[in-house]
Every structure is written in structure tokens, then in C-alpha cells.
Amino acid sequence: MIAFRCFRNDDPPRLADTWRCADLGPAAVQPMTSALLEACVFSKPYFDREGLLVAVDGTRVVGFAHAGFGPNAARSALDTSVGTTMLVVVVPHEEHERIAAGLVSRCEDYLRSRGARTLLGGGGPALGGFYRGLYGGSDVPGILDTAPAMQAVFERAGYEVADRIAVLRRALGRFRPPVNRLQVAIQRATRLSVVDEPPRRSWWEAAVTSGIALRRYVLANLAGETLGTATFWDMQPLASCLGVTAAGLLDVDIEGPRRRQGLASYLVARAMHDLAQEGVAVVETHVAASNAAASSLFEKLGYEAVTHGTMFARPVRAEPA
């Protein structure tokens, strides 16, 4: 008899065990431990035990699913109007589909009870903020194609594809930043600084990067005005599991009026060169198919897709007249 309940304080070892037994594909940290879940999930200041749903068969935990929210526009608090079910983790079980469906529907109940009108499936940089370093890579890229069983859970629940996220990698062996007239002109007109453990720019950034080592490359003009930033982290503990010295590019952002002037190409290439000199072998980042500018930028810098993830959305039901 399967029963559902929300998270309890004595669950972590059983949830780690569930993660170890479930088929999450190669982009999930293994072996999972309670300590890793504590560091990347339960310790987040906005963790809500009622959003972490647990399925039990008798006394055995057989699955869990985690629902949460992203930040508001000012990144100063959660925006509970859009909610997502980030992961659905179920052990091999004869009632696998029923367990997964029950978890998703209880996650939806939780999200609606907090005010969500839009329901998504899959985590991402601006959604949930949990499992970074445990699932995906440089960030959580929705539900990965390497976990087709989890994608099928959302499809059976009536979700549709909202966006596709490419997981991009660029090996840094012998990487040299491009040298051309534009890049030389940018080099003369700017200053690039490297800030380890930069002050966090918002409550949300502080919350989702607690406990991880950030490095920010800041590009400024000669008057000291910031033109853009690129922020990396060491992708631990996932990078250790992959067996590479990796850096995850979390975000690159050029000030609006300064775009289309070659600045991102210059900034990211210089950062990649710097990281290569420190022994980083590969840089990974994610880009949504809907972000044409970033897709094109990374393609020009030699990044290639190694897999894709899907962000799902539940179609809004028409209200009866």
C-alpha cells in the first residue's frame, strides 16, 4: 500500500538511498549521501518541508519529488505565482508509474496551495535553486534526455515541452582567445578583473550559491563602469564524479546598451583562457533554445551540445464559463 506524506527530519538517509537506487542517468551525483543532500537542498534558507513529497510502501521510502519556486523580478524573495516540480525520484518498483503520478499530483497541490498559477516540470537557474551540483552540471537543465523515465512521468501527467536546454561543453586544451581587430580594440578600451568569492548581487543569488565557490570576471571601461560579468563555479561535487577539472559558467551578462559590440565574446574567451591556465580542462554551461543570442555566442566560442534537458509546462485549463 503506497502512502504519501511530506518530508520529515529523519528522512535524509532514506532519500539518499532512494536516489542511489533510482535510475537518474549519468548526470546525477552518485553515490548520494545525506550530507550532500543537506548541503545542496535542505540547508537552503527557503527550503519548505511541505514541498518535498515522499512516497512510502509500508516503512520503506520508494520515491520523492520536490516542488519549489523561483525568485521575483527583484530577486529579493520567492515568486510563488510560478512553481515547478524539480525532480521525481522513484526506485524500481512494480507500481513505479502510480508512485510517480501520485508524487507529481501532490507537488501540484502544494504549489497551488502556495498560490502558483503556472505549473512547470524541471529545475533551472531561475527555478527552484536546489540540486545544483547534484544533478545536471553547471546548473540544473530541466529534466535531462539521459533520464527518459523521469521525462515520461511529466508527459503522462499531461505536461508539454516549454523549452529545451542544451548542455554545452568546451574543452580548454590549447584554448587561445581569438585575436582580431575588434578584440584588440576592446582590450585597449577595457579592464578585466577577477573576483573570487564576489559579494552576492541579490538575496536569490546568495541563497542559491551558499556553500559554493564563485569566481566572477568583471569587464569595465576605463572610467570604471561595469560593462558585463561572467560568473563561474567549480561544479562540485558533480565534477569529481565526472572525473574532470571543470568550471561551470553560471551566467554571462552584458549591460543592455553595450550588447552586440563583441564584449561577451571577449569576456568569456578571456575568462576561459585564464581558467585553462589554472588547469581547468573543460567549461560547461547551459543555454535555453529560446535564447538565440546566447546560443549563437557559445557556438562561436566552440561550445558543443553534449545532451539536452526539457523544461515542461502544464497547459492551463480553460475555466468553465
Ligand X SMILES: CC(C)(COP(=O)(O)OP(=O)(O)OC[C@H]1O[C@@H](n2cnc3c(N)ncnc32)[C@H](O)[C@@H]1OP(=O)(O)O)[C@@H](O)C(=O)NCCC(=O)NCCS
Footprint of ligand X (CB under 6 A): 251-254, 259-265, 287, 291-294, 296-297, 300
Closest approach of Cβ 227 to ligand X, in Å? 9
Listed in sequence order, the DSSP H helices in the chain are 12-21, 34-37, 96-113, 148-156, 181-189, 203-208, 238-242, 263-277, 292-300
User: Rounded to the nearest 5°, which phi and psi values hold at 39?
Assistant: -70, -40
> What is the nearest approach in angstroms of ligand X to the Cβ of residue 120?
18
CA dihedral defined by 41, 67, 132, 122, rounded to 10 degrees? 160
Identify the three-state secondary structure at position 41. helix
Cβ closest to ligand X, residue 51 vs residue 123: 123
Question: Least separation, in Å, of the C-beta of 137 and ligand X?
Answer: 14
Could you give the CA distance from residue 139 to residue 248 in angstroms, rounded to a whole number? 8
The least CB distance from residue 296 to ligand X, in Å, is 3
Q: How far apart are the first and last CA of the chain?
A: 39
CB of 239 to ligand X, least distance (A): 19
CA 194, chain centre distance (Å): 23
Which residue, 155 or 251, is less far from ligand X as judged by CB? 251
The DSSP code for 39 is: I
Query: CB of 267: closest distance to ligand X in angstroms?
Result: 8
Smallest distance from ligand X to CB 216, Å:
13
**Residue 82 vs 252, nearer CB to ligand X:** 252
Q: How far is the CB of 266 from ligand X (least distance, A)?
A: 7
**Which residue, 49 or 300, is less far from ligand X as judged by CB?**
300
Q: Grid coordinates standing for 130?
A: 536546489
**3-class secondary structure, 145:** coil
What are the counts of helices (DSSP H) followed by strands (DSSP E) for the chain?
Answer: 9, 13
Sorted by sequence, the CB contacts under 8 Å of residue 65 that are 6+ apart come out as 52, 53, 85, 86, 87, 88, 89, 100, 103, 104, 106, 107
CB of 71 to ligand X, least distance (A): 15
Per DSSP, the three-state class of 278 is coil
Q: Quickly tell me which residue has 501520485 as its cell.
A: 102
Side chain identity at residue 10, one-letter code: D
Q: Which helix (H) or strand (E) holds 56?
A: strand 52-57
Start-end of H helices in 168-291: 181-189, 203-208, 238-242, 263-277
